[in-house]
Structure 1
Amino acid sequence: MYEANATVVGTIVNHPMKRELPNGEQMLIFRMASNSRRLDHNTGEWVDNGTLFLNVSCWRRLVAGVDASLRRGDPIIAHGQLRSHEYRSRDGMERRDLEMRATAVGPDLGRCTARVTRWSEMRNTGDRFSAEHQVPAGDGLGENVAAASTAPPRTTHPEHADA
């Protein structure tokens, strides 16, 4: 078995869908797009250089955090194991999708702002999400839920991330 871990910066392109499996485990799936841009030094303009689409699956406690925090159109950073899924489409064509089994997903704070609420803080103050967002108690470390809000619009010439 191969393990190709990667971090992808992009945007959620559909509403995340939560599913309950026959064994009672929950998962959440969404599709994200990552646009490659480069600075054209001749014109000084940013130029689109292609888009990577991938399906992202979230499991265990990550389901509740993503479900409570992120929606279609939100800028995110996702990290996890990449896999290629090969299948035959209804029209008989061989297809291949890129999938990520995420271990971490969060808002891209370079393109939005977020308010972080730790699971442990919610337990201590009595704040509660609806029943569908509740998560079992853990050790308190890394148990964050972030509600992302869109940042002010970019200028027509966005800065490169390394600028």
Structure 2
Amino acid sequence: MSTITLTGNVVADPELRYTQDGTPLLSFRVAENHRRFDKARNEWVDLRTDWHDVTIWRGKAETLAEALKKGDRVVIVGDLESREVEKDGSKRVYWRVQAREIGIVPKAKSSQPAVAHDPWSGSAVSSDEPPF
């Protein structure tokens, strides 16, 4: 087995299941997009998308089941396994990652417009009276 670190997007809500002995197992799919910068065109070019089935076990499975959802960007470290399937004369390779660690990448904060009127900012008082 090979160790892999990948970054991708969760394509469907994860599924939490339990084995017969009660061990938690979380499974989901991740799309890993590969791109490169084309200097001649001065733009990013999409190369390919790799699809990975991901599983994680035990306490981490239950913790992530509460936090992870479709659309989340994740960083995964785990063991990469491949499975080759032939269907209708064409071969396909499916990848599965037995994750050891999964981190959810925080979403970028959207820029908020400046407040037009801030009632707490106060204004300069040009009075000789004390402000209290």
Same fold (TM over 0.5): yes
Letter in 2 for 1:6: I
C-alpha displacement at 1:96, in angstroms?
2.9
SS at match of 1:5: strand
Which structure would you say has the larger RCO, counting Cα contacts within 8 Å and 6 or more residues apart? 2
| Aligned equivalents of 2:31, 2:109: Cα separation in 1 | 20
- CA root-mean-square deviation: 1.9
Instruction: Kindly indicate which of the two structures has a greater share of residues assigned to helix.
Output: 1
| Aligned equivalents of 1:82, 1:8: Cα separation in 2 | 10
C-alpha displacement at 1:92, in angstroms?
8.0
**Would the aligned equivalents of 2:16 and 2:62 in 1 still touch at CA under 8 Å?**
no
C-alpha change, 1:48 and 1:58, in structure 2 (3 Å) is same
TM-score scaled by length of structure 2: 0.75
C-alpha displacement at 1:60, in angstroms?
1.1
| Larger-gyration structure (1/2) | 2
C-alpha displacement at 1:151, in angstroms?
1.7
The partner residue of 1:38 within 22, 36, 39 is 36
Which residue is 1:27 aligned to?
25
| Aligned equivalents of 2:109, 2:47: Cα separation in 1 | 24
- Is 1:151 equivalent to 2:108 in the alignment? yes
* Number of residue pairs matched by the alignment: 110
SS at match of 2:63: helix
C-alpha displacement at 1:23, in angstroms?
1.8
Structure 2 portions without partners, runs of 5+: 111-132
Identity %: 32
Matches within 5 A, 1:124-143: none
Which residue is 1:53 aligned to?
51
- Is 1:104 equivalent to 2:101 in the alignment? yes
Which residue is 2:7 aligned to?
9
Which residue is 1:142 aligned to?
none
| Aligned equivalents of 1:100, 1:68: Cα separation in 2 | 20
| Aligned equivalents of 1:9, 1:59: Cα separation in 2 | 19
Q: Which runs of 4+ in 1 moved over 6 A?
A: none
C-alpha change, 1:93 and 1:36, in structure 2 (3 Å) is closer
**Would the aligned equivalents of 2:24 and 2:62 in 1 still touch at CA under 8 Å?**
no
TM-score scaled by length of structure 1: 0.61
| Aligned equivalents of 2:89, 2:41: Cα separation in 1 | 44
